Amino acid sequence: MPADLVLLHGFTQTGRSWQPVRQALGGRYRALAPDLPGHGAFAARPASFAACDAYLRAVCARDTTVCGYSMGGRIALHYALWPGARLGRLVLLGASPGLEDPAERAARREADARLAERIAAIGVAAFAAEWAAQPLFAGMPRGVAALADEDRRRNTASGLSAALRGLGTGAMPSLWDGLSACAVPVELIVGERDEKFRALAERMAGLLPAARLHVVPGAGHAVQLEAPDAVAEVLRAAVPTPGTPPPGSRGRVAGTRGRPGAGS
């Protein structure tokens, strides 16, 4: 049976990272939170956008909501813009449509390849500490950071290296030009402190035909870890409970600030 909700994690995470959101949803949906290629139980699985597209084709129906964080959001958007994609709604957390400039994309591929080599050289534990120290994750509550570190250590160095080469931002084609043709409603969720991805989400909201922007107060980039109740609130408001009609309006809704879901 196809899932009502598919939850795609970010780079260095596993499907377990969605557990706080799933708990906040209280079993409301048939939800899948797989380990993506190169991560967790699928460390040896080929890591590519084509492999992820194939998985989503297998588990999605016309009314499935695909929700992705960061790398998972890029994977979700890549699938949603495929002409034969089956889904009812897209939810993107701290995600982007990739890099527009070919030169910048090539430079990023080279940087990703160097980082992949470093992961293989220093191992998962050391890399997890380096990854967590990025300014992107500054201000994350200590308990949340500890859980994130525990999840990262479920991965392997070879798997993360492969994921970076196959699913990294440098490997992803730019999807900016395709946003205006997106056939499904999109919920954009971003942490208030996540300035880079707030700006990206605001720009995306202006290009997507049916998008709503939700800014979660006080949260950073890893919004689903820092504020799972807020993310669950957006999902409950946007995604119909199984057996109920889908939301009637698919027109553009102005992006909102403040309490998540205020524009839902």
Query: Looking only at Cα atoms, what is the longest distance across the chain?
Result: 52
CB 214 within 8 A of CB 189: yes
**Encoding tokens for residue 167?**
């699913």
> What is residue 28's three-state secondary structure?
coil
In angstroms, the Cα distances linking 147 to 14, 19, 121, 163, 166 are 12, 11, 24, 21, 26
Q: Which of 98, 65, 72 is nearest to 187 (CA)?
A: 65
Q: Which of 1, 113, 107 is nearest to 60 (CA)?
A: 1
- Half-sphere exposure for 249 (CA within 13 Å, toward CB): 11
Q: Which residue has the tokens 């890399």?
A: 127
Q: Torsion over CA of 168, 100, 185 and 181, rounded to 10 degrees?
A: -130
Beta bridge partners of 66: 6, 90
- Cα distance between residue 65 and residue 60, in whole Å: 8
For the annotated catalytic residues, the residue numbers are 70, 194, 221
